[in-house]
């Protein structure tokens, strides 16, 4: 019985040996590098009892695990279900989207634990990891999932693995320069994750440009149910974005504030997206592409400033603007990118990640500049 379900992965006829070899060799490399470098951080190590006594902690609940694990799981869902299903809207590429996203993310988090570990958690020749490292690895892979959105349907799994290797490396270098050398604050990663990921992906898709792709566009359309699957991705990204932006903020009020700001920004973004989607379409219909994507721009745009004293109404303003910018981008900018610059942006990541990420950087700079001792208290 010829089962149609493998069709999404059908083109990769010659990868019989290449994919297994790459996967196995790279996994062996991971094992060796983890063996040499990676150890449990103090809060995950069996010596934690001693550590606790030294730090005068009275309770196990002070372990960072309890501050961050629920947020980590939300971020985890965003990477694997959120990004994976968001890209299932193509009628012929549902498995490719979910399956390849699964593969690249599973490799990416291992390589990211190493790369980010060398830059940020390296001590006495070892990388010490805890739940915050897992979150950061997921973040880093998030930027790869974003880039994947631009080239969706055009690449083999091996190409994706190679891209992941390069992008995670570059991500970590870029992050190190921004956070450690330039001392930029970017807890929600508007710039480090979203803008970086988007421009990386757009560069790759420009390189892979194929002029005759247009002919295969009927394969690229969506069907009713593939669009509903994509809504699963959209909603999980939308709902858990407050966890994304607050996951690595400081304990206490900063995490609390990040979640509230993101919640407000996203709510406002939905209304302006629907408004402009209806306004810019013939007959005022709503376009599912906008609902699936532009509604999320508010989370991207508030990433940098979410943990700052942006205030709830500030978040509504940021969210409103980013929903408008993103929707307008889908209607006017994506066709322009394709026809003039030969950049085929399958999922429209320029509208969802690049532009809102830039807005996020600007808003973060303004909010930080507007910070006064009065607003933050003398300890802030």
Which residues between 208 and 227 bind its own copies (CB under 8 A)? 217-218, 221-225, 227
Please tell me whether residue 164 binds its own copies under the rule CB under 8 A: no
Task: Order the strands of the 122-123 sheet from edge to edge.
Answer: 38-40, 126-129, 122-123
- Site track for its own copies across 269-298, x = CB under 8 A: xxxx-xxx-xx-x-xxxxxx--x---x---
Q: How many positions of this chain bind its own copies (CB under 8 A)?
A: 137
Residue 266 touches its own copies, criterion: CB under 8 A = yes
Q: How far is the CB of 177 from its own copies (least distance, A)?
A: 27
**For residues 79 and 102, is the Cβ–Cβ distance under 8 A?**
no
Q: Which of 90, 264, 337, 352 binds its own copies (CB under 8 A)?
A: 264
Q: Of 122, 177, 219, 251, which lies in the binding site for its own copies, with binding defined by CB under 8 A? A: 251
Calpha distance 374→255 (Å, rounded): 20
CB of 212 to its own copies, least distance (A): 17
User: 90 CB contacts (<8 Å, ≥6 apart)?
Assistant: 97, 152, 153, 219, 220, 221, 222, 226, 346
Comparing CB distances to its own copies, the nearer of 119 and 178 is 119
The interface with its own copies within residues 340-369 (CB under 8 A) comprises: none
- Check residue 66 for interaction with its own copies (CB under 8 A): yes
**Site membership for its own copies, residue 73 (CB under 8 A):** yes
Residues 127 and 109: their CA atoms lie apart, in Å, by 15
Question: Between residues 134 and 198, which has the closer beta carbon with respect to its own copies?
Answer: 134
Residue 54 binds its own copies, judged by CB under 8 A: no
CB atoms < 10 A from the CB of 47, how many? Answer: 9
The length of the chain in residues reads 380
Identify the residue among 123, 124, 369, 377 touching its own copies (CB under 8 A).
377
39 counts as binding its own copies under rule CB under 8 A = yes
Give the range of 23-31, 143-151, 182-190, 349-357 binding its own copies by CB under 8 A. Answer: 23-31
Tokens 């858990």 appear where?
Answer: 240
Query: In angstroms, what is the minimal distance from the CB of 199 to its own copies?
Result: 27
Toward its own copies, which CB reaches closer, 71 or 172?
71
- Residue 363: count other Cβ atoms within 10 Å of its Cβ: 27
Q: Minimal distance in Å, beta carbon 350 to its own copies?
A: 22
CB of 371 to its own copies, least distance (A): 9
Nearest CA to 96 out of 2, 196, 226 is that of 226
DSSP 269-304: HHHHHHHHHHHHSGGGPPPHHHHHHGGGHHHHHTTT
Q: Phi and psi (nearest 5°) for 306?
A: -60, -35
**Which stretch in 168-176, 183-191, 205-213, 251-259 sits in contact with its own copies by CB under 8 A?**
251-259
Residue 206 C-beta: closest distance to its own copies, Å: 25
Instruction: Looking at residues 121 to 150 of the shown chain, list those that interact with its own copies (rule: CB under 8 A).
Output: 129-131, 134
> Cβ(156)–Cβ(213) under 8 Å?
no
Measured from the CB of residue 249, what is the shortest distance to its own copies in angstroms? 10
Query: Residues with Cβ < 8 Å from 46, sequence gap 6 or more?
Result: none
Residues facing residue 126 across a β-bridge: 123
**Residues 79-108 close enough to bind its own copies by CB under 8 A:** 80-81, 84-85, 88, 94-95, 98-99, 102-103, 106-107
Reading the block at residue 75, the tokens are 């971020």
In degrees and rounded to multiples of 5, residue 245 shows phi and psi of -75, -20
- For its own copies, the closer CB: 13 or 207: 13
Rounded CA gap, 83 and 102, in Å?
Answer: 10
């Amino acid at each position: 019985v010829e089962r149609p379900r493998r069709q999404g992965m059908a083109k990769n006829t010659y990868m019989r040996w290449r994919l297994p070899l790459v996967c196995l060799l790279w996994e062996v490399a991971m094992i060796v590098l983890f063996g040499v470098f990676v150890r449990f951080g103090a809060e995950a190590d069996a010596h934690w009892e001693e550590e606790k006594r030294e730090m005068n902690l009275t309770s196990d609940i002070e372990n960072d695990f309890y501050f961050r694990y629920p947020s980590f799981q939300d971020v985890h869902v965003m990477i694997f279900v959120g990004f994976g299903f968001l890209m299932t809207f193509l009628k012929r590429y549902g498995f490719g989207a979910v399956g390849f996203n699964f593969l690249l993310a599973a490799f990416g988090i291992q390589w990211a634990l190493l790369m980010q570990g060398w830059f940020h958690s390296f001590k006495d020749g070892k990388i010490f990891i805890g739940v915050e490292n897992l979150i950061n690895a997921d973040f880093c892979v998030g930027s790869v999932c974003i880039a994947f959105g631009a080239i969706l349907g055009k690449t083999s799994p091996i190409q994706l693995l190679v891209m992941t290797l390069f992008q995670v490396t570059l991500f970590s270098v870029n992050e190190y320069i921004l956070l450690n050398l330039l001392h930029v604050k970017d807890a929600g990663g508007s710039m480090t994750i979203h803008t970086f990921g988007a421009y990386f992906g757009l560069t790759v898709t420009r390189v892979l440009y194929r002029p005759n792709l247009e002919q295969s566009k009927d394969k690229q359309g969506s069907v009713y149910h593939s669009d509903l699957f994509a809504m699963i991705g959209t909603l999980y990204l939308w709902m858990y974005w407050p966890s994304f932006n607050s996951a690595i903020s400081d304990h206490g009020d900063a995490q609390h504030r990040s979640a509230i700001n993101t919640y407000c920004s996203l709510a406002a973004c939905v209304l302006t997206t629907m408004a402009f989607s209806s306004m810019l379409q013939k007959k005022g219909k709503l376009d599912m592409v906008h609902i699936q994507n532009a509604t999320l721009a508010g989370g991207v745009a508030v990433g940098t400033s979410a943990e700052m004293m942006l205030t709830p109404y500030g978040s509504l303003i940021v969210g409103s603007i980013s929903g408008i910018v993103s929707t307008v981008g889908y209607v006017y900018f994506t066709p322009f990118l394709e026809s003039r610059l030969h950049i085929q942006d399958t999922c429209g990541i320029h509208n969802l990640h690049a532009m809102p990420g830039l807005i996020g950087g600007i808003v973060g700079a303004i909010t930080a500049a507007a910070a006064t001792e009065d607003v933050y208290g003398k300890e802030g």
